[in-house]
Amino acid sequence: MTKADIVNEIAKNTGVDKASVLASVESFMEIVKGSLAKNENVYLRGFGSFIVKKRAQKTARNISKNTTIIIPEHNIPAFKPAKTFVGQVKGSAKKGKK
């Protein structure tokens, strides 16, 4: 599902015009990105959490040059789904099997 599909689905379900829905979705994404950039997690009860994970420094190899490089400690964005969300996805997988 793409962002356009999400906007169309929300517009269809709510009766709000697509331009307003698109502006809301874009604004939501900017707020989440901005919060994560400031190391602030975003919690959406019943859906999940957008969190910042810290990756430790590690040693990697460049196999083409046969050298070792140090990858410094850094943060990455991650999503942790809520238990109810996970339960719904697991339940739909069982229903799909025949």
Does residue 36 belong to any structural domain of this protein?
A: yes
DSSP for 39-80, written as a single string: T--EEETTTEEEEEEEEPPEEEEETTTTEEEEEPPEEEEEEE
Percent of the chain scoring above 70 in pLDDT: 94
Whether 32 maps to a domain, the answer reads: yes
Place of tokens 């994404």: 29
- Domain assignment present for residue 12? The answer is yes
Condensed to tens digits (0 to 9), the pLDDT of residues 4-42 reads 999 999 999 999 999 999 999 999 999 999 999 999 999
pLDDT band at 96 (very low <50, low <70, confident <90, very high): low
Is the sign of the CA dihedral 14, 17, 20, 21 positive or negative?
A: positive
Total domains in the fold of the chain: 1
Q: Is residue 94 part of a domain?
A: no
Residue 25, domain member (yes or no):
yes
Is there a domain that residue 5 lies in?
yes
Residue 95 pLDDT grade (very low, low, confident, very high; cuts 50, 70, 90): low
Parent domain of 7: 1-40
**pLDDT tens by residue, 37-73:** 999 999 999 999 999 999 999 999 988 999 999 999 9
91 occurs within a structural domain:
no
22, part of any domain: yes
pTM: 0.77
